[in-house]
Amino acid sequence: MSDTINELADSEKDLFRSKIESFFSEQNTQTDQSQDGIGDADTTSLDKAKSFQMDLSQAGLAGITFPEEYGGAGLSDTHQEIFNEVSASWHMPTSPLSISHGMCLPMLNQFGTHEQKLRFMPDNISGKTIWCQLFSEPGAGSDVASLSTRAVLDGDQWVINGQKVWTSGAHYCDYGLVVARTDPSLPKHRGLTMFIVDMSDPAVEIRPLKQISGGSGFNEVFFTDLHIPKNFQLGELNQGWNLAISMLMFERVSIGASAGGLNTDRSPDLIRLAQDSGQANDPIIRQKLTDLWIKEKIKGFIGQRIRDAVSAGQVPGPEGSIAKLNGALIARLARDTSISLVKAEAQAWDAENENGEQWTNACLGAAGISIAGGTDEVQRNIIGERVLGLPKEPDPFKGAAWEDVPRS
Ligand SMILES: Cc1cc2nc3c(=O)[nH]c(=O)nc-3n(C[C@H](O)[C@H](O)[C@H](O)COP(=O)(O)OP(=O)(O)OC[C@H]3O[C@@H](n4cnc5c(N)ncnc54)[C@H](O)[C@@H]3O)c2cc1C
């Protein structure tokens, strides 16, 4: 369903707004200051995320624009905008679901068959199942199209072998979307296919990686003769690159231009912190906070522009890279502003300050936003080539079969 913000009657907008407000007041999430990094959720925050999402779903406020038939609320983009506006001043404990909802759900909706949507979307929307994204490999990060994980058809099953890395949340996810090579004789972008995998299958081994923050948000994932049904293929055979690009765009939009989760505006918290700590009249602090507030507002407009384009039927294009790069730069600005405010407590906080750790986590996590979903350098390349029309990077193996390209 698509409409502009003015097409919904004011009374209907007000009604919807107050429904969301009363939902959040009842949940009382405003006092919850915790911010998990991508995939970095303990059992408590995972349970909190799942039960919050279930409540949201039962209130008819989850999967707002997705069809009711597939577990969504079947509402308009205007409803989504209103939800984003109202929820911005609350803390939604849903970061552990950000990949599941920001990337996997729109992919299922866009490329799934009717049966796949019926089977997988309702549980994804309600938070009953959580999904992860398995693209990166030890030898394929920025150049993800060169990946080596293989999928071979054996009767009516696909057999997958290979290794993924940096898979956020794999250790608590039920399903994943994996890209694998189905035809090595084609050039690297053309022999890939996307699949749905059941992460609880014994042929999937998940090994957590330890981070500087002490958390374990990422994993190595090994597939050893993983058999999946033929109908777990998502989209067309050997068209996985097109799906991967769409998913990366959803990821970039999700990181750079969505509302909530990792992309929650930090300025309201930091303004509150400045007030509570008696620093709100310091001219340098005020200038930093104003700068951050303005940039977060602009980020919101970029997001709205992209969401409007998507609701008008356009696939997010290179502007997703602008949103992603901008979101990463703002995350670093928020980190620097928070360090100016909390000073040494960004590294060593008072044991009695139960929210102390959040600043350290936010500071340590900010750099990762410049890498996840394609690094800042890669976004700059895309903007340079596809927005500004600069010459493309030379590729001596352009058009060569993937199996003929030397790799380490
Ligand atoms: C927080 C976080 C969450 C993540 N979650 C997931 C996930 O859930 N699923 C998943 O599949 N992956 C995930 N990743 C992995 C992420 O997609 C990759 O780390 C990223 O694409 C970069 O790949 P790489 O680490 O292999 O670095 P490389 O590709 O090896 O890059 C190394 C350096 O070289 C630069 N570089 C590379 N190519 C170029 C170029 N052409 N021009 C200019 N500079 C270049 C890069 O900018 C970088 O600085 C996550 C990463 C992070 C940080």
In the CATH scheme, what is the homologous superfamily, with its name and number, of domain 132-239?
Answer: Butyryl-CoA Dehydrogenase, subunit A, domain 2 (2.40.110.10)
CA-nearest residue for atom 30, ligand 1, is 141
The alpha-helical segments, DSSP class H, found in 258-318 are 267-276, 283-311
Mean pLDDT of the 120-144 span: 97
Task: Report the topology of domain 10-129.
Answer: Butyryl-Coa Dehydrogenase, subunit A; domain 1 (1.10.540)
Q: How far, in Å, is the centroid of ligand 1 from the Cα of 352?
A: 37
Note the pLDDT of residue 5: 47
Mutate to test the pocket of ligand 1, among 195, 375, 380, 408 (most ligand atoms within 8 A of CB): 375
Note the pLDDT of residue 145: 95
Q: Is 374 in the pocket of ligand 1 (CB under 6 A)?
A: yes
pLDDT at residue 352 is higher than 90:
no
Q: Is 100 in the pocket of ligand 1 (CB under 6 A)?
A: no
Q: Is 167 in the pocket of ligand 1 (CB under 6 A)?
A: yes
Secondary structure of the chain as H, E, C letters: CCCCCCCCCHHHHHHHHHHHHHHHHHHCCCCCCCCCCCCCCCHHHHHHHHHHHHHHHHCCCCCCCCCHHHCCCCCCHHHHHHHHHHHCCCCCCCHHHHHHHHHHHHHHHHHCCHHHHHHHHHHHHHCCCCEEEECCECCECCCHHHCCCEEEEECCEEEEEEEECCCCCHHHCCEEEEEEECCCCCECCCCEEEEEEECCCCCEEEEECCCCCCCCCCEEEEEEEEEEEHHHEECCCCCHHHHHHHHHHHHHHHHHHCCCHHHCCCHHHHHHHHHHCCCCCCHHHHHHHHHHHHHHHHHHHHHHHHHHHHHCCCCCCCHHHHHHHHHHHHHHHHHHHHHHHHHHHHCCCCCCCCCHHHHHHHHHHHHHHCCCCCCHHHHHHHHHHHHCCCCCCCCCCCCCEHHHCCCC
Class of domain 243-387: mainly alpha
Q: What is the mean pLDDT of the chain?
A: 89
Q: Do domains 132-239 and 243-387 have the same CATH topology?
A: no
Q: What is the pLDDT of residues 374-388, one digit of tens each?
A: 999 999 999 999 989
* Structure-block tokens of residue 157: 């099953």
- Amino acid found at 81: E
Note the pLDDT of residue 38: 56
Mutate to test the pocket of ligand 1, among 171, 219, 321, 371 (most ligand atoms within 8 A of CB): 371
**Rounded CA separation 379/294 (Å):** 22
pLDDT band with cut points at 50, 70 and 90 for residue 2: very low
pTM of this structure: 0.89
Residue 29: helix, strand or coil by DSSP? coil
pLDDT at residue 71 is higher than 70:
yes
Note the pLDDT of residue 305: 83
Q: What is the pLDDT of residues 111-122, one digit of tens each?
A: 999 999 999 999
Q: What is the pLDDT of residues 95-104, one digit of tens each?
A: 899 899 989 9
Q: Which of 47-61, 173-187, 238-252, 259-273 is the least confident region?
A: 259-273
Q: Is 375 in the pocket of ligand 1 (CB under 6 A)?
A: yes
All structural domains of the chain with their residue ranges: 10-129, 132-239, 243-387
Q: How far, in Å, is the centroid of ligand 1 from the Cα of 368?
A: 9
Q: Which of 192-201, 282-291, 349-358 is the least confident region?
A: 349-358
Q: What is the pLDDT of residues 228-237, one digit of tens each?
A: 999 999 999 9
Catalytic residues: 251
Mutate to test the pocket of ligand 1, among 142, 178, 378 (most ligand atoms within 8 A of CB): 142
pLDDT band with cut points at 50, 70 and 90 for residue 362: confident
Note the pLDDT of residue 309: 78
pLDDT band with cut points at 50, 70 and 90 for residue 33: very low
Q: In this predicted model, which residue has the larger pLDDT, 23 or 360?
A: 23
Note the pLDDT of residue 167: 97
**Ligand 1 nearest-atom number relative to CA 374:** 21
Q: What percent of the chain has pLDDT over 70?
A: 92
Q: How far, in Å, is the centroid of ligand 1 from the Cα of 219?
A: 14
